[in-house]
Amino acid sequence: MREPIEDRNLIDIQALISPRNLKAAVPTSAAAANTVIEARRAIREVIHGRDADRLVVIVGPCSIHDPEVALEYARRLRGIAEHSADAMLLVMRTYFEKPRTTVGWKGLINDPRLDGSCDVAHGLEIARRLLVEINELGIPCGSEVLDPFTPQFVADLLCWGGIGARTSESQTHRQLASGLSMPIGFKNGTDGGLDVAANAMVASSHPHTFLGITADGESALVRTRGNPDRHIVLRGGRKGPNFAPEFVAEAARLVAEQGLARPVMLDCSHANSGKDHNRQGFVCREVLDQVRAGNPSIMGLLLESNLEPGRQNWQPGIPLRRGISITDACIGWEETERLLHEIAETVRIGKSASTGERSALIDRQLRI
């Protein structure tokens, strides 16, 4: 029998709902749209230095696998967001896709039932519905941009997008970022080097032409104008953490010619914490020391947090404990709440006190 010239290793190709039809089935409400628009505007103000008095704090689960838990987390976050809006813009991590070094669960969109059935159509609907509900609470959402087609289905509900350490070097993702409507954070490479992220910021600021899909799901030629709202995310690497002042200064130097006033976000997880969730608080407070000292380049922080601390292994058919991550280990809600209050107080005192007074005031405030 003659070998086939194509589709040799394919099992099946299934038609998927179009982005337009999914948006019609799960429409954006006026309240959700307003949350997205206002949060995007606020993040741009911080990146470009027009808002020098607040931090952008992206906080939430490493990945969402239980929509009910995610909604409970968002409701808790709303209480803090309402009382800290003067000091920080809180954005909830709503990560539905997970990059894999080898194999494993690829996220809620890919396998929403956590059983290997990979019902992507159902996963897209769940993700979109959840994004609408969280935004309607007044909590803006941020997510990693991984699959180049996924943004057509959900990007209208995101105020911030992250390009991960594995994909910041990807031409596909740089081109995609150049056409997205929200601010984008590029992580440094897995080796810890900053050049990959700095080059990605340059590339995504320029116009591009590439292959994509339309709102009706048809193949298309996409032309972009370039994204002016980019920043670097320092997440550490194989050589160790990179949240110290010298790394922040180096990142700011690398992008100094790109016209960004506050280009650096610090990831308190991943290699910066040695993948030990118990060290996220330490990293956060080290970054706050830099904020306290008046470092002008820091725009925000990123924390991996869930209702309960730690992580658990996922196996199809095995019941999971509620509120615990099945990917990276997270800090629990109690520690999250403490850290968010500390961040807000640091920013507030920084706005009202001279540099020499800040340390004593913060130490005194946090002992109360």
- Mapped onto helix, strand or coil, the DSSP state of residue 92 is strand
Domains of the chain, with CATH numbers? 19-367 (3.20.20.70)
pLDDT tens-digit readout, 228-260: 999 999 999 999 999 999 999 999 999 999 999
Q: What's the confidence (pLDDT) of residue 104?
A: 80
CB < 8 Å & 24+ apart, contacts of 145-151: 145/173, 145/176, 145/177, 145/180, 145/184, 146/97, 146/98, 146/99, 147/97, 147/109, 148/172, 148/173, 148/176, 148/212, 149/212, 149/213, 150/96, 150/97, 150/109, 150/124, 151/176, 151/180
Q: Is the distance from CB of 303 to CB of 269 less than 8 angstroms?
A: yes
Quickly state the pLDDT bin for 365 (edges 50, 70, 90): very low
pLDDT tens-digit readout, 127-167: 999 999 999 999 999 999 999 999 999 999 999 999 999 99
Q: Mean of the pLDDT values across residues 183-194?
A: 96
How far CA 316 is from CA of 105, 157, 270, 308, in Å, comes to: 10, 30, 26, 21
pLDDT tens-digit readout, 63-116: 999 999 999 999 999 999 999 999 999 999 999 998 876 678 899 999 999 988
Beta-bridge partners for 197:
none
- Mean pLDDT, all residues of the chain: 93
Cite the beta strand spans of the chain per DSSP E.
Answer: 55-60, 88-93, 141-144, 160-163, 184-187, 209-213, 219-223, 230-234, 264-267, 298-304
Q: What's the confidence (pLDDT) of residue 190?
A: 93
Beta-bridge partners for 334:
none
Please give the Cα distance from 323 to 311 (Å, whole number): 9
Q: What's the confidence (pLDDT) of residue 350?
A: 85
Please give the Cα distance from 302 to 344 (Å, whole number): 14
pTM score, whole prediction: 0.93
Please give the Cα distance from 86 to 84 (Å, whole number): 5
| Identity of the amino acid at 177 | A
Q: Is the distance from CB of 283 to CB of 241 less than 8 angstroms?
A: yes
Please give the Cα distance from 309 to 307 (Å, whole number): 7
Give the position of tokens 């709102």.
Answer: 215
357 pLDDT higher than 60: no
Q: Mean of the pLDDT values across residues 162-184?
A: 97
Please give the Cα distance from 107 to 72 (Å, whole number): 19
Token digits of residue 282? 């330490």
In Å, how far from its chain's centre is CA 136?
Answer: 19
